Amino acid sequence: MTTPSIAVRVRGVAKSFGGTRILEGIDVEIAAGTVHALVGENGAGKSSLGKIIGGYYMPDEGEVEILGARVARFSPRDALGLGVAMIHQELQLAPELNVVQNVFLGRESQRAGILVGGDTARFAALEKACDFGIDPLAKVATLRIAERQKVEIMRAIARDAQVIIMDEPTSSLTEDEADRLHEVIRRLKGQGKTVIYVSHFLDHILANCDNVTIMRDGKVVRTSPMTGETKQTLVDSMLGQAAEILWPALPAAPAETLPPIAELRGVSTGTGLSDVSLVIRPGEIVGLVGLVGSGRTEVARALFGADRITGGEYLIEGAPARGRFTVHDAIAAGVALVPEDRRKQGLVLTQPTRFNISLGTLGRISRFGILDRGAEIRQTREMIGHFGIVPGAIDGRVARYSGGNQQKVLLSKWAVAKPKLLILDEPSRGVDIGARRRIHDFIVEMARQGVGVLLISSELEEVINLSHRCYLLSEGRIFAEEPAAALTVEAALTRVFLEQNSQRNRQEAAS
Ligand SMILES: Nc1ncnc2c1ncn2[C@@H]1O[C@H](COP(=O)(O)OP(=O)(O)O)[C@@H](O)[C@H]1O
Ligand SMILES: [Mg+2]
């Protein structure tokens, strides 16, 4: 039998939940041996379509064919039998088991749940192919989200699926890790496998996919080859209008004579920063431009008291931070950090929306030590409306929210707490364009209200368009400072690459 050229055919599929149509008249053909992108705003139906193909949902109408075989029963097990595996947006791992056990879960259960020696060898082969660098014996509960995502990816590959659906696989990965995943995807494609790739990162989509299906409001807008697509054409179709990728107008930069909120003078840390000097003034948005590993997050952590400063000086509103400056001291001084890994470091997942939003202001909305519930509820409602948090329940279960909505909850916390210095590490990572726009407006509004903002983002476009001033970093050092208006993405990238090369050359020459 020859391989059918269509790996997945979806015809006339419709699906409702509780009387609400979430998919309607879906027709898609996915060619075998291609990487096929699914894009659309939050709620467009990408995950639901993926779950129908992966056997997790049964369509109300229409039919699905996998590698030429019509799907008769919809279950993940049946889908796997036909060669389809899905990597979920909400990761589905057994936290108490280790990495190898999770990767081969379901397979080894056929052998009464006992992990056999062969699995370790098979894992080593898999690890060689993926090069993710995961400790095979680490318990999954102890892993960061990015590592868990890698475990899910390895599991799908281990199942030898012909069609792998990846639902936002890079949402918690660094740029470097995402590159490695894309390398794995290229290899899978080389072996004739089909990958359905759901993502908000349009750059990743444009660079790694052969075809794209754009969805909006539960319908397919169109399916097209990637050649000829640009960010603009994708966004226009996702939104259903010619949307300019507009950046909000920044308030005027503060005068250079305005005393800084935070200043680093020749700061070094044990985490690799060396001789870092920078200032952030009230009402100013300062961007850090650098490659992954250049020390951007380390600067954020030093300012937040999370890493110890071993040399130089840190001044907050002109006063030197004394002694062992801790996170506690930073918060007391009005410094806030929205970390890259929001699930782990920013939110209290066991608590509802209301609690998470008022976390930063508990002192202010309690009188005589008694929490003013009315004020807390009013504040929460206001923020849910302002950011468009979905679901909009004040006691919503944050743990179940999408990445974009979790990020909005986290930002709401700081919008009401009004810190003096707000450090944002990858604030719009993994959120859709609607949420992104709200986050950008929020950043600008904070600056307008006099908050000093330090912005870190792997998307240079974002840093350059949302900052007043940028520092360029490489290998833990700041090597240049520029008004953002003087930078372009290409120029900034070229400079950080050149600097890194010349630094490495100098180091080699010196050793
Ligand atoms: N199991 C479910 N029960 C009820 N509604 C659901 C369920 N799964 C998805 N939905 C709804 O379907 C719509 C599409 O969701 P989803 O497929 O997750 O979109 P996307 O992945 O594009 O963000 C949303 O309005 C969502 O709330
Ligand atoms: Mg989704």
Give the start-to-end residue ranges of the domains of the chain. 6-239
The pLDDT value recorded for residue 373 is 78
Q: Supply angle C-alpha 273, 278, 279, rounded to 5.
A: 145
Spatial separation of the C-alpha atoms in residues 508 and 493, rounded to whole Å: 23
Rounded to whole angstroms, the Cα distance separating 54 from 84 reads 6
* Residue whose CA is at the smallest distance from ligand 1 atom 25: 43
Distance between CA atoms of residues 473 and 463, nearest Å: 13
Tell me which fold the domain 6-239 belongs to.
Rossmann fold (3.40.50)
Which structure tokens are listed for 61? 């109408």
Q: How far apart are CA 108 and CA 114, in angstroms?
A: 7
Per-residue pLDDT of the chain (511 residues; tens, 9 = 90+): 455 599 999 999 999 988 889 999 999 999 999 999 999 987 899 999 999 999 999 999 999 999 999 999 999 989 999 999 998 866 678 888 889 888 887 664 444 445 556 777 788 888 887 778 888 889 988 887 778 888 888 888 888 889 999 998 887 777 777 888 898 899 889 989 999 999 988 889 999 999 999 999 899 999 999 998 998 889 888 877 655 567 888 999 999 999 999 999 999 999 999 999 999 999 999 999 998 889 999 999 999 999 999 999 999 999 998 778 998 899 889 999 988 776 656 788 888 888 888 776 655 555 555 667 788 888 888 888 888 888 888 888 888 887 778 888 888 888 888 899 999 998 888 777 777 888 898 999 999 999 999 999 988 889 999 999 999 999 999 999 999 999 988 888 889 888 888 877 787 777 7
Q: Atom 13 (ligand 1): residue with closest C-alpha?
A: 43
Q: Would residue 390 be called left, alpha or beta, if left means φ above 0 and alpha means ψ between -120 and 50 degrees? A: beta
Distance in Å, CA 42 to ligand 1 centroid:
9
pLDDT for the residue numbered 343 = 61
CB distance 497 to ligand 1 below 6 Å:
no
With a 6 A CB cut-off, is 42 part of the ligand 1 pocket?
Answer: yes
What token pair was written down for 472? 């360029």
Look at residues 150, 159, 75 and name the one whose alpha carbon lies nearest to residue 110: 159
**Residue whose CA is at the smallest distance from ligand 1 atom 5:** 17
What is the Å distance from ligand 2's center to 46 Cα? 6
What is the pLDDT, as a whole number, of residue 111? 47
d(CA 333, CA 322): 12
